């Protein structure tokens, strides 16, 4: 049995995880953390994780960037592993994540979906074959109208997976509107679409002479991210200090 603390328990993803865990016999939620306490939870809820006096095996975090500093402080102090799902961290916070991982196990991934992380593995193989054969690489991502960052962290992670297989030789291009020249061979172009309630669509396009190969992933609900986080929590329990990602979970 894995005892879990949900950091951001009353947010949208917190509710999603709690719904998924109703039928999971391998995990018990022992505490939650949220600035807003609905008073409906069957476990104690604290406004700040540093106030939490309930021990857990793992913290699952879907909160906001300003809360991550306190989260890392708590996890190091209590030696509690953390599945860190909050995005939009600044460079200073990313440095703190790396420092904390020297003391406690932390799993951080740009996207918690098992499908996206499997796609990253496939892209490395595809890029190693197709790029040397002259295929151009483009990434198109689509998200709901409320998303403020572009391109998405997932799109960048997909680009990183491709570039890793190409020895980091490719340049990332986000805007061609001011450029009047042919497309260089060694670039990865990113395009972002924002509209409606799109949960998350990603297409990685390999465009060659007379043929196009497209790798696509569609998220139809936020549940895919919750399922991945739950799998990650089960994996992280009892792990030694270190910085992990979803590639460790899927093997």
**201 annotated as a binding-site residue:** no
Q: Which of 124, 147, 227, 239 is catalytic?
A: 147
Give the tens place of pLDDT for each residue, 42-78. Answer: 899 999 999 999 999 999 999 999 999 999 999 999 9
Q: Which of 143, 202, 217, 222 is catalytic?
A: 143
Q: What is the CATH number of the domain that holds 136?
A: 3.30.360.10
Q: What is the CATH number of the domain that holds 84?
A: 3.40.50.720
**113 annotated as a binding-site residue:** no
Range of the structural domain that residue 243 is part of: 2-112+223-248
Assess whether pLDDT exceeds 90 at residue 194.
yes
Assess whether pLDDT exceeds 90 at residue 216.
yes
Assess whether pLDDT exceeds 90 at residue 149.
no
**Distant-in-sequence, close-in-space partners of 136: CB < 8 Å, separation ≥ 6:** 183, 185, 205, 206, 207, 208
Residues 89 and 210 in one domain: no
Q: Give CA 172 to chain center in angstroms.
A: 20
Give the tens place of pLDDT for each residue, 155-187. Answer: 999 999 999 999 999 999 999 998 899 999 999
Residues 135 and 216 in one domain: yes
Is residue 79 flagged as an active site residue? no
Least Cα distance to 118 among 82, 163, 157 occurs for: 157
- End-to-end, the C-alpha distance of the chain in Å comes to 22
What's the structural domain count of the chain? 2
Q: Are 175 and 118 in contact (CB under 8 A)?
A: no
* 239: helix, strand or coil: coil
Residues 6 and 108 in one domain: yes
Check residue 37 and give its pLDDT.
Answer: 78
Is residue 147 flagged as an active site residue? yes
Check residue 40 and give its pLDDT.
Answer: 81
Residues 72 and 133 in one domain: no
**79 annotated as a binding-site residue:** no
Check residue 118 and give its pLDDT.
Answer: 93
**37 annotated as a binding-site residue:** yes
Residues 101 and 124 in one domain: no
Residues 125 and 187 in one domain: yes
Average pLDDT, the chain: 94
* Helices marked H in 79-199: 91-100, 114-130, 153-165
What average pLDDT does this structure show over 96-115?
94
**13 annotated as a binding-site residue:** yes
Residues 213 and 132 in one domain: yes
């Amino acid at each position: 049995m894995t005892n879990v603390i949900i950091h951001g328990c009353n947010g949208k993803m917190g509710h999603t995880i709690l719904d998924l865990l109703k039928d999971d016999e391998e995990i018990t939620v022992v505490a939650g953390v949220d600035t807003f306490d609905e008073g409906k939870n069957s476990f104690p809820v604290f406004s700040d994780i540093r106030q939490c006096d309930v021990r857990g095996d793992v913290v699952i975090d879907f909160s906001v960037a300003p809360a991550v500093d306190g989260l890392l402080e708590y996890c190091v102090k209590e030696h509690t592993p953390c599945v860190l799902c909050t995005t939009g961290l600044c460079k200073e916070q990313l440095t703190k994540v790396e420092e904390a991982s020297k003391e406690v196990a932390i799993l951080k991934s740009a996207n918690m979906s098992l499908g996206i992380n499997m796609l990253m593995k496939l892209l490395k193989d595809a890029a190693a074959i197709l790029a040397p054969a002259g295929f151009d690489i483009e990434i198109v991502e689509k998200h709901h109208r409320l998303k403020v960052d572009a391109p998405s962290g997932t799109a960048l992670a997909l680009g990183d997976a491709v570039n890793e297989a190409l020895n980091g030789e490719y340049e990332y291009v986000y805007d061609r509107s001011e450029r009047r020249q042919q497309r260089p061979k060694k670039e990865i172009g990113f395009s972002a679409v924002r509209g409606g309630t799109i949960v998350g669509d990603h297409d990685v396009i390999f465009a060659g002479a007379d043929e196009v190969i497209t790798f696509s992933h569609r998220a139809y609900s936020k549940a895919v991210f919750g399922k991945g986080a739950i799998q990650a929590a089960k994996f992280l329990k009892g792990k030694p200090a270190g910085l992990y990602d979803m590639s460790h979970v899927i093997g």
